[in-house]
Structure 1
Amino acid sequence: MRRRMVETNLKKNNRNIEILAPAGSYEGMRAAMNAGCDAVYIGGSSFGARAYANNLDEDTLLRAIDEAHIRNKRIYLTVNTLVKEDERLEKLDRYLDRFYERGLDAVIVQDLGVLHYIHRNFPDLPIHASTQMTLTMAEGANLLKGYNVTRLVTSRELSFKEIRAIRDNTDMEIETFVHGALCYCYSGQCLMSSMIGGRSGNRGRCAQPCRMSYQFYSENSRISNDEETYLLSPKDINTVAYIPELIEAGVDSFKIEGRMKRPEYAAAVTSIYRKYVDYYLEQGKDKYKDIIKSDIFNQDMMDLMDIYNRGGFSGGYGKTYNGKKMMSLTRPNHSGVYVGDVIKAWKGQVKIDLKENINSQDVLEIRDGEDKGYEFTTKDPMEAGRVLTANIGKAKLKPGLKVYRTKNNSLLDKICKEYIDQDVKQPIFGSLYARSGDRLKLTLKSNNISVTAYQDIVQEATKQPMTKEKLLTPIMKTGETPYYFEKLDMDMGDNVFVPVSWLNEIRREAIELLQEKVLHQYRRNLKKEQEGASTTLGYETSNILGETDNLAKDNIDNKSMGLSVTIQTKDQFKAALEVPEVDGIYVTYDMIDYKDILPMAEEAVERGKDFYLVLPYICRLSLYERLNKELPPIIAHDNIKGFIVKNMEELALVKSLIKDKPKEIILNYNMYVYNKEAYEFWREKGISHFTAPVELNYGELKALGIKECDMVVYGHQPVMVSAQCLYASTSGCIKQKGIISHNGHLVDRISKKFFVQTNCDSCYNIIYNGQSLSLLRQVYEVKELDPRNIRLDFIFETKEITLKVIKAFANAYIHNKNTSLGMSDKTEYTTGHFKRGIE
């Protein structure tokens, strides 16, 4: 836990690398700051993506902002959840205004409506684009320019090369997760917790189904085993060894994950990253290569393992695209550190051959299988090489079992003493002037800020003149203030007398003046900034999205709407062509042969149907370059009506390619237009057609208004999009066997099924809800919402099933006929969130 602090302006590299620490509480914030972070990200009472953390109330957060600034640190507030229209974004005014005026350094935002609203109403507040925005390229991030977005938090899946490409193409700061938990799904694209239990990760309420046990099947054959069942649980990442590569890639802020963890975790991890970032910046790459081979480095990595690891660590995606080595398949929580083996077991006792030193009050776990074991607390310290005898009660254990330490008590005590029990103080420089006939004067300086306090006129001594030591001692007593004197100069006469009370008073006054001046530079005046400017919503609240009035049933029945279908196979395409009621066919770009796209478009148009291309969920550098080559001839063709885009990078590319061509762009539902302010953001970008959010219920969709929307009423909905591959994590990579795409399914502990689709060409997995959405019986409610189109999404369906489903929905929604999909088995279909919604 050694830490080396080096002032940034003294570093040879002259780079300001921020260590950004998590804080789930005020104590966590203090611990991280004491350990050397430059900034903390923290949640308040609302709008944060960790709704179950010990978030700060308003008064405590205001105090935290001041404490951070006095310490020359920064506070970033998480406002990174999606906000429903009926929750009213105006509440952000009441939530943010005091933090803004106090000097909050930045907000972290996912919802583009929230971004749009904050930019207009809090003009000087920097905005950081959350990793939940799934930004993978500068082209996507640059769409946020003009909204005071100063920083993007990259998707965790990016390689060093991809981060470098972002650095070369944007002037925004780059923040990247360097340590801690890793989601299986691209952040911002996960609906699994939402679909299973209504706890949406996009709303800060993820139930972490990725840390549960599953079995994986290819067709009807199980290819996972009984020992490795946590198939969606990645190891935590640890990138200390890759600090040079991260800095050279252009990362400005090293973000540590862990707002749900204890202050000791934040302090321990922060101190180690502070130490090694500073070492690299001061000593350079060659010496860094040496230090990571040292015993000191190995001990620091062991400390990180002791604090928290999940089956060890991976180095993240910087150099590794995916794979089994990145997964914690046998245990989803803290794995601890291997410390020994059971060599003998008999009634009530075991003997353990220790491989590591243990401490008093360590917690050890004897594992019979990775996820099962007997836990006990040690009484006395003991060195490696000795044999520990432990009482185990009635537990039945056997020789050969592994023993792990899940709590290193000595390490935790050390962290507490160094970073939690007392605060690290800030250095100040002082100058005391004490000459008879002049006023007593104390000047303090800190971080280019200077203040001076005065007292009465200094008198000549009538008896014993004061010594320099007697003058300085009271001044040096900074007590419980956040400061200590790095240096205190004095200009004093030969024969002076100053009462000690004057010295104490001038010290207190000078420190108060310094604090006031430090904090004043951060203060903002919101009312002054908003004089003459609207502080309300950026649009008229009536019918911007075509809110539906209450209509009589006859009028509802007579409402007309388009019918669009999304297809992934040629058989599904043929089925869509056969149904005259189908107005538009949305063809999934990466599931159809490129050479077949234009012939399919021509055939669709000949049959009187609009033809759209559905672009992939994730667009990274290699795919972007491919699309940049393949899309121009497609865009030039009149038979292509438009595109359904699923990310900012594709949107930027398509907009740059279509220029003034009459092509339509439709935002998919994973672009999350949850409120009218988000719609206004997109209207400013020239986009007016989007897809209704699948997490909103009927009432919330009605409040939003979806007249210009597609609305998905059928289909297996994707719950995860992942750079990982379930085949690679179990039986091995199938691309190496010449397979381009393959399907399988997951089964959870209660036999719930999830379909899995691999795309080996672009190397990603999509996991779908095993129950298909069907709003076939909700015709009246959907028509009352009055979407522009209803949309049917087909994934694995055969031609026969596709045809049956299309005809059923055409009869129900267009011809007002009662119809059925054979829904006697209620477990086969779901109404999704249309009835229940999300938390």
Structure 2
Amino acid sequence: MAKVELLSPGGSLTGIKAAVAAGADAVYAGGSLFGARAYAENPDESGLLEAIDFCHLHRVRMYLTVNTLLKERELREELYSYIRPLYERGIDAVLVQDLGVFRALKEWFPDLPLHASTQMTITGEDGAALLQQMGADRVVLSRELTLSDIRAIRSRTDVELETFVHGALCYCYSGQCLMSSLIGGRSGNRGRCAQPCRLPYSLRDGFPGTEGDARSVSREKAACSNPRGESGSRSMTAGNRSGRADGNNPRREAGCGRFGADQRNGRYLLSLKDICTLQILPDLIDAGISSLKIEGRMKRPQYAAGVTAIYRKYIDLYLERGREGYRIDPADMTALTDLYSRGGFSEGYYNQKNGPSMMTMDQPDHSGSAAASVLKTGSRCRLQALEDLYPSDILSVEGKTVQCAERVRAGQTFSLLGTCPGLKAGSIVMRVRAQHLLDTLTETYVDRKLSVEAEGHVVMKAGEPLRIAASALGREAVFSGSVVQEAEKHPLSAQDVRRQLGKTGDTPFAFQKLDVELSGNCFLPISDMNRARREVLDRLKEEILSGSWRRIPKQAGDQSIQNTLAGADNRSEAGIWAGGAPESPPSGTTDGATEGMQREGAAVRHPSVTASVLTMGQLQAVLKERSVGGVYVEVSIFIGQPATAPEAITGLIHDAGKRAYLAMPYIWREDVRRTFEQTLPAEKMKLFDGILVRSIDQLGRLADWLPLREVIADAGIYTWNTEAQKEVRMLGATLDTCPYECTAAELSARNMSGSELVVYGRQPLMVTAQCLRKNTGGCTHAASWLTLTDRMKAQFPVRCECAFCGNIIYNSVPLDLITAEKERRLLSPAYIRYSFTTETAAEVRRVLGGELPVSITRGHIRKGVE
């Protein structure tokens, strides 16, 4: 059975050492810059160098997280100097989110292993294979994938796969969440997520500002059975097989039935339980996963150590005894629950698509373990311990904490002083702090001094230099010390020498064997023996560690960084395209590949205008607007429609003198791909003038859709810097979309010649595999709108995408950059885009006519993110 890596979190230097002591095969940690856990106690440069040495001395790999998005200045001025000393010290790999960072690191440090972070949102074989082709050694898959999805990727690629096996789950696909950023200013893409998914919300049917509507939802019907109609012109209406009331108004797309108010008011509707996969660990190993990852860099070292030790135990148990000998000790599950759990655990998405069993809607933080059962209430509450309780353990009683004063064994009864009116006989009291467990972990792992076993050989002969040799981990070092003197009164014994030289103290070594050869009556001062021991062990440490050290040839290193900073690119412009580079983009744009991505001058030019639509009513309005030159049609419009729907809708767009673009699904996992290909086979793709791709997975699929004249990368394929823009071009895109989180100044620092700027629309805050309707009121299998309301009374539209079984949560107000004239002139994008989601046809017409809603946001175009 193949060896699998246990990968543990290191939120601090202490945490890194504790995880190593507990049995991690590898540790991942961030430094002072560019990590996705900016608020962890991340080591500084000296701490990281110490951590690398510590890990390597104990034969553990050390990975650095650079899994955030970098602004242009950061990539140009800070990244190289940050990585170089760690590279030279032997960092084993770097985890990367930003395609520009990936590109730069490959250029600067060609032999540095790169791991594609889960922030890249890789959900299928196309993205995994593409990243491997780009040079990734490992891909960290999205946490939403099932075991079936992972097995499919494993069977079709040979890149290393890494998945999370324990810890917190985000509500949104990692890397696609803008909620914390746009409502709180703290970006998850910059390691500063404020965790809005752990806050209370209420939910109701329908669109914000409307009452719930019990009518069932049906999708837009194009004129598919008779696309041209009797007059030969394409019709804008279609047979409504499901009795749709109004195809022009998305606000009438309410779901079937209503929620009960008690099911959804003031609850933690977006809060997922932590995952624990001990029960299915054999399935994960057998699926071919290379690395099993524990989440938790924000948690204390005892957490990292405790979880690591338990997973180490069960990985080894399965590898040694197989399924027949694999049994879970309930005490270990209790320990994991005590360390951190939110309303218990789930097994994540490995064996289910989504569902309420994965949620913890009543408590978003640590809930602890069941500690005692209430036997009797009154003036003194009598309880029976369900687990052994220890002094300083903390119980949660009616929202208050109570500290245990004495030891209580499981089965024994004890009393709580005072009345507890909210408790009833049979109620369960939870332990939220298991102090005895924390103390044990501290003593066993956190405060434990790890030593490398060494062997030594000492030769002492009067009149000759002391000779000492030490060996460990297959390496050896030798040192010749001071000349040994002839003893006048008290010659050294072998035991004396062994005792003194065996005091390895603060070195990382401990002599398990130390041979001493004495010839004659020898004497040597203790200070000389101490110096000899220190010198030989320092040499041994360097001999061991130097095997991991790297050197950058000065000329090559300087030249590579100069090339990157100057924007030079020696790679083929054809990129991955199997049939050659795509055709030139439409007139009025500049192809970054053709022009070498050179920055345009400051001259202002009027960009072309495009619009994206979600409904046929919106499409009707857009087609009547002369200024709009291209239309992005969401793929959901075609789901469940007659086979001729693509011909009908693209025909309508072309007849209006506009270009037709297909807006792809946000996620490209196996089940989504199957639904998509059933709806739009490859030959139908030729009907469109281009596509809007929304994931790296889709960039990996482009060769199957050739020829395509245009490929526009949407905002979720992040291009915060020119290196990312170049990489996206190399992967086949002709244009990119300006990221939502950058200021105008930051966007202008990158290349705007081939960028499209979204100037209006509700930005997608979350793309999730969960469904709020299913989790709170039951699945209706009907696409619909819901309204999610937060504590500040902001109302967020939620689109139930039943065809792909997930939700999209949009911002409570639309973005407006149309009236941000100063910023638009500074940026001068190749295109501007209107993004219509919740608007009625009338509202679309008003927006295109310059009449904007009263409530709008400027997004980050002025204030930006940290």
TM over 0.5: yes
Pairing 1:403–2:429 present: yes
For normalisation by structure 1, the TM-score amounts to: 0.88
Structure 1 unmatched runs, 5+: 1-12, 368-372, 809-818
Deviation for aligned residue 1:456: 6.8
**Structure-2 residue corresponding to 1:258:** 296
Deviation for aligned residue 1:161: 2.1
Return closer, same or farther for 1:436/1:499 CA change in 2, 3 Å cut-off: closer
Return closer, same or farther for 1:223/1:785 CA change in 2, 3 Å cut-off: farther
Deviation for aligned residue 1:98: 1.8
**Structure-1 residue corresponding to 2:633:** 587
Equivalent residue of 1:416, what SS? Answer: helix
Map of 1:512-527 to 2, 5 A cutoff?
512-527=538-553
**Structure-1 residue corresponding to 2:95:** 108
Map of 1:254-293 to 2, 5 A cutoff?
254-288=292-326, 291-292=327-328
**Structure-1 residue corresponding to 2:270:** 232
Map of 1:138-537 to 2, 5 A cutoff?
138-145=125-132, 147-219=134-206, 220=212, 221-223=258-260, 225=263, 229-288=267-326, 291-292=327-328, 297-346=329-378, 349-367=380-398, 373-392=399-418, 397-400=422-425, 401-432=427-458, 441-455=467-481, 469=495, 472-486=498-512, 488=513, 490=515, 492=517, 499=524, 501=526, 504-528=530-554, 530=556, 533-536=559-562
Alpha-carbon RMSD across the aligned residues, in angstroms, is 2.8
**Structure-2 residue corresponding to 1:753:** 795
State the distance in 2 between where 1:340 and 1:415 align: 23
**Structure-2 residue corresponding to 1:703:** 749
State the distance in 2 between where 1:531 and 1:703 align: 25
Structure 2 counterpart of 1:716, which letter? Answer: R
State the distance in 2 between where 1:784 and 1:716 align: 23
State the distance in 1 between where 2:496 and 2:684 align: 83
Kept in 1, the 8 Å contact 2:464–2:484? The answer is yes
Write the deviation string for residues 786-835 of structure 1: whole angstroms up to 9, x where unpaired: 212211112232222223323x1xxxxxxxxxx423x3x43xx2222223
**Structure-1 residue corresponding to 2:656:** 607
Structure 2 counterpart of 1:702, which letter? Answer: S
Pairing 1:694–2:732 present: no
**Structure-1 residue corresponding to 2:780:** 734
State the distance in 2 between where 1:174 and 1:743 align: 36
Which shows bigger deviation, 253-262 or 533-542? 533-542
Return closer, same or farther for 1:605/1:540 CA change in 2, 3 Å cut-off: farther
State the distance in 2 between where 1:695 and 1:392 align: 53
Deviation for aligned residue 1:537: 5.4
Equivalent residue of 1:247, what SS? Answer: helix
**Structure-1 residue corresponding to 2:817:** 775
**Structure-2 residue corresponding to 1:58:** 45
Deviation for aligned residue 1:331: 0.2
State the distance in 1 between where 2:755 and 2:360 align: 41
State the distance in 1 between where 2:792 and 2:557 align: 58
Pairing 1:717–2:763 present: yes
Kept in 2, the 8 Å contact 1:569–1:592? The answer is no
**Structure-1 residue corresponding to 2:703:** 655
**Structure-1 residue corresponding to 2:860:** 833
Structure 2 unmatched runs, 5+: 207-211, 213-257, 569-594
**Structure-2 residue corresponding to 1:813:** none
Structure 1 counterpart of 2:470, which letter? Answer: L
Return closer, same or farther for 1:436/1:240 CA change in 2, 3 Å cut-off: farther
State the distance in 1 between where 2:536 and 2:318 align: 38
Kept in 2, the 8 Å contact 1:539–1:680? The answer is no
Kept in 2, the 8 Å contact 1:548–1:786? The answer is no
State the distance in 1 between where 2:113 and 2:404 align: 50
Structure 2 counterpart of 1:306, which letter? Answer: D
State the distance in 1 between where 2:464 and 2:675 align: 77
Kept in 1, the 8 Å contact 2:661–2:689? The answer is yes
State the distance in 2 between where 1:508 and 1:17 align: 37
Kept in 1, the 8 Å contact 2:761–2:836? The answer is yes
Deviation for aligned residue 1:467: 6.6
Equivalent residue of 2:70, what SS? Answer: coil
Structure 2 counterpart of 1:796, which letter? Answer: T
Equivalent residue of 1:524, what SS? Answer: coil
Deviation for aligned residue 1:510: 2.6
Pairing 1:669–2:696 present: no
State the distance in 1 between where 2:316 and 2:611 align: 55
Equivalent residue of 2:8, what SS? Answer: strand
Deviation for aligned residue 1:549: 4.8
State the distance in 2 between where 1:757 and 1:662 align: 29
**Structure-2 residue corresponding to 1:8:** none
Which shows bigger deviation, 213-222 or 621-630? 621-630
Return closer, same or farther for 1:167/1:428 CA change in 2, 3 Å cut-off: farther
Equivalent residue of 1:54, what SS? Answer: coil
Deviation for aligned residue 1:265: 0.6
Equivalent residue of 2:561, what SS? Answer: coil
**Structure-1 residue corresponding to 2:671:** 622
Identity between Structure 1 and Structure 2 (%)? 39
Structure 1 counterpart of 2:772, which letter? Answer: L
Aligned with 1:743 (options 785, 804, 815): 785
Return closer, same or farther for 1:176/1:752 CA change in 2, 3 Å cut-off: same
Which shows bigger deviation, 89-98 or 321-330? 89-98
Structure 1 counterpart of 2:562, which letter? Answer: T
Map of 1:25-44 to 2, 5 A cutoff?
25-44=12-31
Return closer, same or farther for 1:160/1:446 CA change in 2, 3 Å cut-off: farther
Deviation for aligned residue 1:131: 0.5
**Structure-2 residue corresponding to 1:134:** 121
Which shows bigger deviation, 677-686 or 614-623? 677-686
Kept in 1, the 8 Å contact 2:609–2:627? The answer is yes
Kept in 2, the 8 Å contact 1:125–1:148? The answer is no
Write the deviation string for residues 131-153 of structure 1: whole angstroms up to 9, x where unpaired: 10001123213323465421111
Deviation for aligned residue 1:267: 0.7
Write the deviation string for residues 396-447 of structure 1: whole angstroms up to 9, x where unpaired: 5443443111111111110011011222222234445678999765443322
Return closer, same or farther for 1:474/1:398 CA change in 2, 3 Å cut-off: same
Equivalent residue of 1:45, what SS? Answer: coil
Return closer, same or farther for 1:454/1:282 CA change in 2, 3 Å cut-off: farther
Return closer, same or farther for 1:544/1:390 CA change in 2, 3 Å cut-off: farther
**Structure-1 residue corresponding to 2:806:** 764
Deviation for aligned residue 1:381: 1.0
Which shows bigger deviation, 102-111 or 695-704? 695-704
Structure 2 counterpart of 1:687, which letter? Answer: A
State the distance in 2 between where 1:834 and 1:306 align: 44
Return closer, same or farther for 1:633/1:269 CA change in 2, 3 Å cut-off: closer
